[in-house]
Amino acid sequence: MKQFILRRVAQLALVFFSVTFLTFASLNLVGDPLFNIVGVISGIPDEQCEAVERGEMEDTQSSGLNLGDCALIAQAKAQNNLDKNVVERYGIWLSDMMRGDFGTSFVNGDEISDIVKERLPVTIRLIVLAQTVALGIAIPWGVASAYRANRGFDKASTIGSFGLLSIPNFALGVILLYFFTLRWQIFPSRYENDGWWSELKALTLPAFTLGLGLAATYQRLLRTDLITTLQDDFIHMARAKGMSDRHIMYRHALRPSMFSVITVFGVNTGALIGGALVVEQIFSIPGVGTELVEAVLRNDPPVVISLISVVAIGFVLINFFVDLMYGYLDPRVRTS
């Protein structure tokens, strides 16, 4: 077990560095962050500024500030470490981020850590709620269809789950929005946060949008595992002792049948994060997703990098813990 944990920690570290570096590099190598800070004067060729530095040329002044263009560029570069190479900047950025300092937005100068603090909890609540909805539906559903496998209810739910898995989450979101908010007006059409009740109401439809497809996935897995478990001797034993079917299903059969669901739980959280970004757009939820899209549209690399990194790190950590838990629950995994 100890070796298993050590190997997973090493893997975690490697993945962590590759994920953050990839994110950082891709947004720094493509596009010009300097342009976002100083505007068009970032187009001034380096040779011209070098000539100014050597005193061979007068610095141009198109920005309307007291500072010359080249001086302005140099200042911006120094402030944002843009004069260093990508690997160095990655190191600085990473160590800053570890201490909770994400830097500031290039566009409006907002502290990114404030943005993260404000937006992340909303998205996390949405994802937790979606997982709750998914498990809350999948467990009774899976138990009911495995209880009488291949009978009417089971066959109907196979069709049902197949259909649910074929609806893209944004399509389901639009459908739910249309019926529950616009036609029947059960749920509010905009996000409000005066207390937990109004937030719960606002997050219910998005959570169902994300959770229904997931419920279908979990139900399929749970059903298969339950059918296998129900053939075990200890189930016959329990039945012979005269325990009620409900007691056998929920108390005896359910727990050993949860392995597959737990395995995909971590992976699906990643899919949920992606899905949450889209669903947040549909229901105008002020979470990480809406902020990320706004940052992309206003071309604000520091914000984009920070948000993507936070999400990616969260995802890597979740999978790490799910792996550990899985290794703890099922000894066979530790050696593979």
Per CB under 8 A, 293 contacts another protein: yes
Contacts to another protein from residues 10-29, by CB under 8 A: 11, 14-15, 18-19, 22-23, 26-27
**How many whole angstroms separate alpha carbon 20 and alpha carbon 214?**
28
Query: Rounded to a whole number, what is the largest CA-CA distance in the chain?
Result: 98
Contacts to another protein from residues 253-292, by CB under 8 A: 267, 270-271, 273-275, 277-278, 281-282, 289, 292
Per CB under 8 A, 319 contacts another protein: yes
Name the minimum Å distance from CB 334 to another protein: 18
Name the minimum Å distance from CB 234 to another protein: 27
Quick one: which H or E segment has residue 51?
helix 46-53
The residues facing 111 across adjacent strands are 104
Name the minimum Å distance from CB 91 to another protein: 20
Per CB under 8 A, 180 contacts another protein: no
Name the minimum Å distance from CB 306 to another protein: 13
| Contact letters for another protein, residues 185-224 (x by CB under 8 A) | ----x-----------------------------------
Residue 34 or 57: the one with the smaller Cβ distance to another protein is 34
H helix intervals, 61-111 = 69-79, 86-98
Per CB under 8 A, 174 contacts another protein: yes
Per CB under 8 A, 163 contacts another protein: yes
Question: Can you read off the two tokens belonging to residue 143?
Answer: 């138990």
Those residues whose C-beta lies under 8 Å from the C-beta of residue 272, and which sit 6 or more positions away, are 127, 130, 131, 210, 214
- Residue entry with tokens 């709620």: 129
**How many whole angstroms separate alpha carbon 106 and alpha carbon 302?**
7
**How many whole angstroms separate alpha carbon 9 and alpha carbon 15?**
10
**How many whole angstroms separate alpha carbon 316 and alpha carbon 17?**
11
Cβ neighbour number for residue 325 with a 10 Å cutoff: 14
| Binding test (CB under 8 A) with another protein, winner from 316, 322, 323, 327 | 316
| Binding test (CB under 8 A) with another protein, winner from 5, 120, 165, 264 | 165
Name the minimum Å distance from CB 146 to another protein: 20
The answer to whether 166 and 247 are in contact (CB under 8 A) is: no
* Half-sphere exposure for 17 (CA within 13 Å, toward CB): 8
**How many whole angstroms separate alpha carbon 157 and alpha carbon 277?**
29
Per CB under 8 A, 168 contacts another protein: yes
Per CB under 8 A, 227 contacts another protein: no
**How many whole angstroms separate alpha carbon 328 and alpha carbon 1?**
8
Name the minimum Å distance from CB 166 to another protein: 4
The answer to whether 75 and 67 are in contact (CB under 8 A) is: yes
Cβ neighbour number for residue 148 with a 10 Å cutoff: 10
Name the minimum Å distance from CB 29 to another protein: 8
Contacts to another protein from residues 295-314, by CB under 8 A: 296-297, 304, 308, 311-312
Residues that bind another protein (CB under 8 A): 11, 14-15, 18-19, 22-23, 26-27, 30-31, 162-163, 165-171, 174-175, 177-178, 182, 189, 267, 270-271, 273-275, 277-278, 281-282, 289, 292-293, 296-297, 304, 308, 311-312, 315-316, 319
